[in-house]
């Protein structure tokens, strides 16, 4: 079995940024394994603009953003393998991959970074009655068909879910000549950006129905229509509000799930709220030397944050390879009063005090709140926010001194103060 210092699973923005940072931290024995035929991950199909404002101070499209990081990796001569699918990662850090070129290969790694992104929640996960014929696609699959393969999956379209992917696809399908008759959203608010609601729906007079869902799909071999209904406060469909919208295509944009099959094989502990691993501030999981970053860890809406997080993972993986011993004593960060989750999930009670960023999401829309960090119940950081929403990841950075206080505390809590639900 070949030995390798650092194996990175996934060549999307997370894997690329981790590789670049690991190289810059002095590591030369790196291998990126990517199952697709090119590097760049999901960005290759995200041809719209809106990427990179934080990192490059300009608005790039997905492929342009990916190209910048691909160039960084190629300029450093970092090794990568395409069409190579990782099928197993073991607790003892043996990575197994298959590729047409190499067959089945096992590698013994010193450290592994899981950067395998997320997948879309499939239809099975949301439970709609009705036919199983053609014409039901996940929004991401439709995006790939239109943008990469140049194939329009339908002409009369209804979209379920108003997250950014659903909104972007409403515009994209309209651009390609399809007619989008409705976007249907279960919640009373959209998790998508206002900008996308305005520029992807309002610009083309596409109606957005809040507090509605699809209850039935009509048609035999191909979708002929969907039945939508309003839902009550408990999100249950109200029978008397049912109505049929004729269409030949239903796109599902009902959320993303971190892709953690490999992590499970490696006995990595997963979080119930994020679906990703439980990690410390070094992005290391409970398995020594196994790290996670990017969408496999928690779903990000901005790729810039994926890159920053992943660079940190790359750097920390090199520290681990170079023999910095993992800390065993950890504090679990508790999220309360409307804060749904925070990454990192745990803090090492060590004496390494450096500025640290925390990323979190809230569970509901709250106005005029203060996002606060408490050490042993005492506020050490607070940030006033006019509005926070589940669709926007919050990002705070603590100073080295604040980190010292946190790491020495018995309890660490992230909370919302004076929250009033909209």
Ligand X SMILES: Cc1cc2nc3c(=O)[nH]c(=O)nc-3n(C[C@H](O)[C@H](O)[C@H](O)COP(=O)(O)OP(=O)(O)OC[C@H]3O[C@@H](n4cnc5c(N)ncnc54)[C@H](O)[C@@H]3O)c2cc1C
| Contact with another protein (CB under 8 A) among 91, 106, 194, 408 | 194
d(CA 394, CA 298): 13
Candidates 46-54, 158-166, 226-234, 311-319: pick the segment binding another protein (CB under 8 A). 46-54
Cβ–Cβ under 8 Å, residues 223 and 248: yes
Judged by CB, which is closer to another protein: 82, or 134? 82
Query: CB nearest ligand X: which residue?
Result: 12
CB-count burial class (<10 Å; 0-12, 13-18, 19+) for 37 = exposed
Q: Is 364 in the site for another protein (CB under 8 A)?
A: no
d(CA 128, CA 252): 11
Query: Measured from the CB of residue 53, what is the shortest distance to another protein in angstroms?
Result: 13
Q: Which two tokens stand for residue 181?
A: 């008759």
Q: Is 149 in the site for another protein (CB under 8 A)?
A: yes
Residue 147's binding partner out of another protein, ligand X, none, with CB under 5 to 8 Å set by partner kind: another protein
Which of the residues 147 through 186 are near ligand X (CB under 6 A)?
Answer: 164-165
Q: How big, in percent rounded to 5, are the helix, strand and coil portions of the chain?
A: 25, 35, 40
Q: Is 376 in the site for another protein (CB under 8 A)?
A: no
Judged by CB, which is closer to ligand X: 193, or 398? 193
Residue 392's binding partner out of ligand X, another protein, none, with CB under 5 to 8 Å set by partner kind: another protein
Residue 149's binding partner out of another protein, ligand X, none, with CB under 5 to 8 Å set by partner kind: another protein
Q: Is 392 in the site for another protein (CB under 8 A)?
A: yes
349-388 footprint of ligand X as x/- string (CB under 6 A): ----------------------------------------
d(CA 382, CA 280): 22
Judged by CB, which is closer to another protein: 147, or 211? 147
Closest-CA residue to 413 (of 384, 365, 361, 372): 372
| Contact with another protein (CB under 8 A) among 5, 61, 99, 399 | 61
Candidates 28-36, 241-249, 337-345, 359-367: pick the segment binding ligand X (CB under 6 A). 28-36
Paired sense of beta strands 356-362 and 394-398, if any: antiparallel
Cβ–Cβ under 8 Å, residues 115 and 294: yes
Q: Is 72 in the site for another protein (CB under 8 A)?
A: no
Query: Measured from the CB of residue 54, what is the shortest distance to another protein in angstroms?
Result: 15
| Contact with ligand X (CB under 6 A) among 20, 35, 93, 407 | 35
Which of the residues 111 through 150 are near ligand X (CB under 6 A)?
Answer: 115-117, 140, 143
Q: Strands of 243-246's sheet, edge to edge?
A: 212-218, 225-230, 243-246
Which of the residues 236 through 295 are near another protein (CB under 8 A)?
Answer: none
Candidates 34-42, 183-191, 241-249, 267-275: pick the segment binding ligand X (CB under 6 A). 34-42
Residue 202's binding partner out of another protein, ligand X, none, with CB under 5 to 8 Å set by partner kind: another protein
d(CA 165, CA 167): 5
Q: What is the DSSP letter of 313?
A: H
The DSSP secondary structure of 67-136, one letter per residue, reads HHHHHHHHHTT-EEESSEEEEEE-TT-EEEEEETTTEEEEEEEEEEEE---EEEPPGGGT---S--SB-E
Chain CA centroid to CA 374, Å: 27
Q: Is 100 in the site for another protein (CB under 8 A)?
A: no
Contacts of 1 (CB under 8 A, 6+ apart): 94, 106, 107, 108
Q: Which two tokens stand for residue 376?
A: 């042993």
Q: Is 63 in the site for another protein (CB under 8 A)?
A: yes
| Contact with ligand X (CB under 6 A) among 161, 166, 289, 294 | 294
Judged by CB, which is closer to ligand X: 33, or 231? 33
d(CA 51, CA 53): 6
Site residues (vs another protein, CB under 8 A): 38, 44, 47-49, 59-64, 67, 146-150, 175, 193-195, 197-199, 202-203, 386-387, 389, 392
């Amino acid at each position: 079995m070949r030995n390798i210092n650092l194996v990175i699973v996934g060549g999307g923005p997370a894997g690329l940024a981790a590789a670049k940072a690991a190289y810059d931290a002095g590591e030369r024995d790196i291998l990126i394994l990517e199952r697709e035929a090119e590097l760049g991950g999901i960005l290759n199909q995200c041809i719209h603009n809106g990427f990179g404002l934080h990192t490059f101070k300009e608005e790039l499209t997905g492929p342009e953003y990916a190209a910048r990081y691909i160039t960084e990796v190629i300029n450093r001569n970092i090794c990568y393998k395409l069409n190579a699918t990782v099928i197993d990662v073991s607790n003892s850090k043996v990575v197994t991959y298959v590729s047409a070129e190499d067959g089945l290969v096992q590698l013994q790694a010193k450290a592994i970074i899981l950067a395998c992104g997320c997948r879309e929640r499939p239809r099975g996960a949301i439970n709609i009655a009705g036919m199983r014929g053609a014409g039901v696609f996940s929004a991401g699959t439709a995006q790939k068909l239109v943008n990469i393969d140049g194939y329009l999956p339908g002409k009369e379209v209804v979209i379920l879910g108003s997250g950014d992917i659903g909104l972007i696809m409403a515009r994209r399908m309209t651009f390609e000549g399809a007619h989008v008759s409705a976007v249907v959203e279960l919640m009373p608010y959209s998790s998508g950006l206002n900008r996308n609601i305005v520029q992807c729906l309002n610009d083309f007079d596409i109606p957005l129905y809040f507090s509605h869902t699809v209850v039935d799909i009509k048609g035999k071999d191909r979708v002929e229509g969907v039945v939508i209904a309003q839902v009550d406060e408990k999100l249950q469909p109200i029978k008397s509000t049912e109505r049929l919208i004729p269409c030949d295509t239903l796109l599902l944009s009902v959320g993303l799930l971190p892709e953690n099959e490999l992590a499970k094989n490696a006995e990595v502990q997963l979080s119930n709220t994020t679906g990703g691993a439980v990690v410390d501030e070094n992005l290391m999981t409970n398995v020594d030397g196994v790290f996670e970053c990017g969408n496999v860890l928690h779903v990000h809406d901005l790729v810039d944050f994926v890159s920053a997080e992943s660079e940190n993972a790359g750097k920390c993986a090199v520290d681990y390879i170079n023999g910095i011993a993992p800390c065993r004593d950890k504090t679990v960060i508790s999220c309360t009063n409307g804060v749904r989750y925070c990454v990192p999930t745990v803090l090492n009670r060590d004496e390494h005090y450096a500025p640290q960023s925390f990323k979190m999401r809230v569970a509901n829309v709250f106005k005029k709140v203060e996002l606060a960090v408490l050490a042993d119940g005492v506020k050490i950081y607070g940030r006033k926010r006019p509005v926070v929403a589940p669709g926007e990841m919050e990002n705070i950075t603590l100073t080295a001194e604040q980190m010292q206080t946190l790491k020495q505390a018995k309890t660490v809590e992230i909370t919302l103060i004076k929250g009033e639900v909209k």
